[in-house]
Amino acid sequence: MDILLIHLGTPCECFIATSVIRGLRKTYPDNTIYCVVQNRECYQVFEYNRSIRKIYIIDHVPEEFKRKTFDLVINLHPNFSEITHFPISAKEKLGFNYTIEGIKAYNLLYINNRKINKSLFQIYYKLAHLTWAGEGFDFYYYPKAKAKKSTTGTAIINRNLKKYIVNRLHLDLSQVKDIPDHNNLFRRLDALNKCSDVITDDFFTLNLALYLRKGVFFLEAIPLNTQIELFGQGKVFPVPKEIVI
């Protein structure tokens, strides 16, 4: 069964979407999965996944691939449409710009400002006509360094929040490590993996740390409209607006 998974969103959204690959393997054991992504950063998210036959960046999809017929197409981001990109031949098409679930997901994620009672994992599974049963990330990474015990990493983007937190950390400062914001996904993971716990206000860093099974303290400086899935490994702390402004 040939399956095309499309996601033209951010690297963070793609990282969460790797969970869908686990669901596809369960539902369609005899499958061949292809991916189309937005850019090189998103390509890295799927690069070493053994379940994926081929990955293409949207601006570099070969003409022969565009002419391929798939059994199933799943579009997990509204930025892709056959009108603005290229037509796809498939027996079944699911997700954004294809189904009623796609319309509902678009309204929930991009139109309504209300907090919804589902995580992004659940929404992606719904779009793919799968049932989420707590599956985590389907991502391949080989650590280059072991974690140092009792080392807390801070990856805080907002400057005011970073100053506020550092001044109030009840920790031995020799055990607090500032995690650099590497553009390369794997260097970023290497830096995170050296820590036993992570404090961050960045949603992507939160999910990377969860994948590495770190204790995570997420500072929700900008309220998210979806539920945050922590897999029992962390805590969320809403941040007052007066601190981050």
DSSP annotation string for 28-73:
-SS-EEEEEESSHHHHHHHTT-TTEEEEEEGGG--HHHHT-EEEEE
Residue 94 falls inside a structural domain: yes
Same-domain check for residues 90 and 171:
no
| Of 51, 38, 34, 31, residue with least CA distance to 7 | 38
Q: Residue 53 maps to which CATH number? A: 3.40.50.2000
Same-domain check for residues 156 and 122:
no
Q: Identify the burial level of 23 via C-beta atoms within 10 angstroms of its C-beta, where 0-12 means exposed, 13-18 middle and 19 or more buried.
A: buried
Same-domain check for residues 91 and 162:
no
- Residue 168 binned pLDDT confidence (cut-offs 50, 70, 90): low
pLDDT at 169 over 70: no
Q: What does the DSSP 8-state code read for residue 174? A: G
Mean pLDDT across 79-84: 97
Tell me the CA distances in angstroms from 152 to 24, 155, 233, one per residue in order. Answer: 36, 10, 15
Residue 186 falls inside a structural domain: yes
Nearest-angstrom CA–CA distance, 73 and 95: 8
Same-domain check for residues 121 and 226:
no
Task: Render pLDDT for 191-238 as a digit per residue (tens, 0 to 9).
Answer: 999 999 999 999 999 999 999 999 999 999 888 999 999 999 999 998
Residue 133 falls inside a structural domain: no
Same-domain check for residues 195 and 91:
no
Question: Contact, 72 vs 92, CB < 8 A?
Answer: yes
Residue 140 falls inside a structural domain: no
Same-domain check for residues 100 and 156:
no
Residue 139 falls inside a structural domain: no
DSSP annotation string for 107-161:
IIIII--S--S-BHHHHHHHHTT---SS---------SSPPPTT-EEEE---HHH
pTM for the structure as a whole? 0.93
H or E, element range at 185? helix 185-193
Same-domain check for residues 173 and 113:
no
Question: pLDDT at position 96, please?
Answer: 98
Domain span at 172: 152-244
Residue 107 falls inside a structural domain: yes
Domains in the chain, number: 2
Residue 8 falls inside a structural domain: yes
Residue 147 falls inside a structural domain: no
Same-domain check for residues 240 and 182:
yes
Task: Render pLDDT for 44-68 as a digit per residue (tens, 0 to 9).
Answer: 999 999 999 999 999 999 999 999 9
Q: Residue 159 maps to which CATH number? A: 3.40.50.450
Mean pLDDT across 126-132: 97
Q: What does pLDDT average to over the chain?
A: 92
| Of 236, 230, 238, residue with least CA distance to 214 | 230
Same-domain check for residues 20 and 92:
yes
